[in-house]
Copies of this chain bind each other. A is one copy, B any other.
Amino acid sequence: MTREELFKNILRKQSFLCVGLDTDIKKIPSMLCEHCSDEDAILSFNKTIIDATADYAVAFKPNLAFYEALGPKGLEVFERTIRYIQERYPDQFIIADAKRGDIGNTSKMYAKAFFEYYNIDAITVAPYMGEDSVKPFFGYPDKWVILLALTSNEGSEDFQLMENFDVERLYEVVLQTAQKWASIEELMFVIGATQASELTNIRKIVPNHFLLVPGVGAQGGSLEEVSKFGMNDQCGLLVNSSRQILYASRGEDFAEAARETAKQLQTRMEKQLFHKGLITYF
């Protein structure tokens, strides 16, 4: 998906919501698919959540760890989830939250996995190994790298926010360096919602890039603050919510509860798009 198509979807749906599919078998309603395997239960849950929230979201982000934990069969569930979205909701932007990154010939194989085999729109990549570990992901038309910059967790203080640089902090160097590697048409950054106070600074360094923002909801980030300091004139934000939507209810009404939560988030996003002047009514 191109940047322009993504922006159009955001305007059309008045939403920049990304639904994270971090599906944990231990947390899904037990009445769902009682006599079937864990894998079938997860797939059934995913499909229900996707159907329930697709109206209010522009992106889905399955988290690889939750599928890998089940072995090769978990990867089949991942693939069937992807295929379901691709067939039913071809306008949804799909992000593989995989945090990959390795030496060149290995990153090339990861790119092949996610951009060729699964044909996913974007993959999250870790920057620690530098340019030649990230570059093999570029050059696929309409495919995206989403590079970790400033993440939502406490551990972001260990290295990303280290202050003993002469001039800047590590995540700022990552932003400055990585934007030279590819255009804004194929590179986004991960900025945690809990880091909203840094967004003014971040927007000085990368004014035009899209940012994938996890950490609203369970992790405590504020959608309104993220929007206030992070939105640009092409929106430039995909705000992710996983647990808040997936486990909105543990009961039989989990799909309606997920839909309602997604809808509430969409309404708050619509308001922010209106405030920014990107849509003319609210």
Residues of A within 8 A of B (CB): 22, 24, 63, 65-66, 68-76, 78-79, 97, 99-107, 109-110, 112-113, 116-118, 126-134, 148, 151-160, 162, 164-167, 170, 173-174, 177, 214, 219
Contacts and interface: CB of A to CB of B under 8 A. Distances in A.
5 contacts: A63-B106, A63-B109, A69-B117, A71-B118, A99-B101
A247 B154 CA distance: 43
B126 A128 contact: yes
A166 to B, nearest CB: 5
A130 B153 contact: yes
A137 to B, nearest CB: 12
B132 A153 contact: yes
B117 A130 contact: no
Contacts of A71: 75, 79, 113, 117-118
Contacts of A97: 102, 106
Contacts of A126: 99, 101, 126, 128-129
Contact of A133 (B110, B155, B177): B155
B155 A131 contact: yes
Given A104-B153, A153-B103, A159 B173 contact: yes
A166 B148 CA distance: 24
Contact of A68 (B69, B113, B174, B214): B113
Given A103-B155, A166-B166, 20 more contacts: A22-B105, A63-B109, A65-B107, A66-B109, A68-B110, A68-B117, A69-B112, A70-B113, A70-B117, A72-B72, A72-B79, A99-B100, A103-B153, A129-B151, A130-B157, A134-B155, A158-B177, A159-B170, A164-B166, A164-B167
A160 B101 CA distance: 14
Contacts of A63: 102, 106, 109
Nearest to A174: B159
